[in-house]
Amino acid sequence: MPYEVTLPGGYTVSDDPTRLDIDLIHRFLSEESYWAKGRSRALVERSIAGSLCLGVYRPQGQVGFARIVTDRCFFAWVCDVFVLPEARGQSIATGMMAAALRHPDLTEVARWMLVTTDAQGLYGRLGFGPYQEVYKLMAYFPPKTS
């Protein structure tokens, strides 16, 4: 059974992967996002297949998306979050992320993390804050081979 949450305004959050509009997600990420410009459709599909994804839907189609990379126990990384421009400002992203934090497969996750340039207000409302131990974080960016 898919996990579904109803939001005000007739929107539904769902984790059903068969409902995801891959064309819309690819178009937004590759053309409109500031972090995934030019991302190929193949990479979008592969990243979705390896993640727990939430879509937000109204009867006419999908308006929101979030991708959660997780082991479902210790760690969840939130990324590729967007709401289409025409649906913004109605607390859809807030509702989607609140639904993510209550997802039955994720209730035991010990650490949620994300990177955001300007949406600190959105995540701050849900309990996220600056990572105090940032000096412990390490990252590796392998050189591009192609």
Ligand X SMILES: CC(C)(COP(=O)(O)OP(=O)(O)OC[C@H]1O[C@@H](n2cnc3c(N)ncnc32)[C@H](O)[C@@H]1OP(=O)(O)O)[C@@H](O)C(=O)NCCC(=O)NCCS
CB atoms within 10 A of CB 12: 18
The residue among 73 and 102 lying less far from ligand X, judged by its C-beta, is 102
- Give the binding-site size for ligand X (rule: CB under 6 A): 16
Q: Does 94 bind ligand X (CB under 6 A)?
A: yes
Q: Which amino acid type is present at position 130? A: P
Stretch that binds ligand X, among 36-44, 79-87, 103-111, 135-143 (CB under 6 A): 79-87
Of residues 37-66, those binding ligand X (CB under 6 A): none
**Of residues 90, 105, 93, the one with CA closest to residue 55:** 93
Residue ranges with strand state E in 23-71: 52-58, 61-70
> Near ligand X by CB under 6 A, which window of 6-14, 39-47, 82-90, 100-108?
82-90
Map 60-80 to HEC letters.
CEEEEEEEEEECCCCEEEEEE
Separation of alpha carbons 146 and 136, rounded Å: 31
CA 33 to chain centre: 13
- Region of 3-11, 16-24, 69-77, 115-123 interacting with ligand X (CB under 6 A): 115-123
CB nearer ligand X, residue 73 or residue 85: 85
Q: Does 30 bind ligand X (CB under 6 A)?
A: no
Q: Which residues bind ligand X (CB under 6 A)?
A: 33, 81-83, 88-94, 116, 118-119, 121-122
